[in-house]
Amino acid sequence: MAAKTDVKKMVSFAEEQFSSLDVLVNNAGGVTEPYFPESEPDRWRITIDLNLRGVMLGIHFGVRAMRQRGGGAIVNISSMGGIGFQPYDKPEYGAAKAAVVRLTASLANLEDSMGVRVNCICPGWVDTPASRRSRSEMTPEERERLVPPVLLQPEEIAEAVVMFVEDDSMAGRVMIWQEG
């Protein structure tokens, strides 16, 4: 219940500080070993809660605030880990991120009914502290096989978010963005 309370407080804070919530970016993610099915249910529930339930809570409370002001824009950050049909070594993360993609597309009608546009970005490898840690723990062979030679920069993802916020013709769209 702490996450629900925290998200509700975050939206209330934005409304108090800026008099409305115009833009919401759901950008959280993570997973820890061992991965499903080796991990216990409480462990993989944490991953699903962070990567899917957190996004849903953000949308739930964000839409309520945006509806009061006549609309807004929500951009969900998913992952290439949620795209495709090939095996993936972190299944609970991939499943949660795939659910974010489908959730986003399913909410395209909020634009017509409430003036709230929901879109999604699915980046590949982004050069962040977390991905640097992951890469440093890989063997050279794993890095060669899994990591593209050019990584996305956080600023590039921010530019894509701005594009979705500024372009009011897009709702329910999913941008797949992979370097290398």
Question: Active-site residue numbers?
Answer: 93
Cβ neighbours for 61, distance < 8 A, ≥ 6 positions apart: 7, 8, 10, 11
Provide the token pair at 51. 């990567």
Q: Rounded to whole angstroms, how far apart are CA atoms 97 and 92?
A: 9
Strand-pair partners of 176 = 122
User: Are 123 and 77 contacting, i.e. CB atoms less than 8 angstroms apart?
Assistant: yes
Strand-pair partners of 175 = 121
Q: Rounded to whole angstroms, how far apart are CA atoms 27 and 54?
A: 9
Q: Among residues 167, 165, 7, 11, which one has the least CA distance to residue 75?
A: 165
Phi/psi at 176 (nearest 5 deg)?
-100, 125
Q: Rounded to whole angstroms, how far apart are CA atoms 111 and 61?
A: 16
Strand-pair partners of 152 = 126
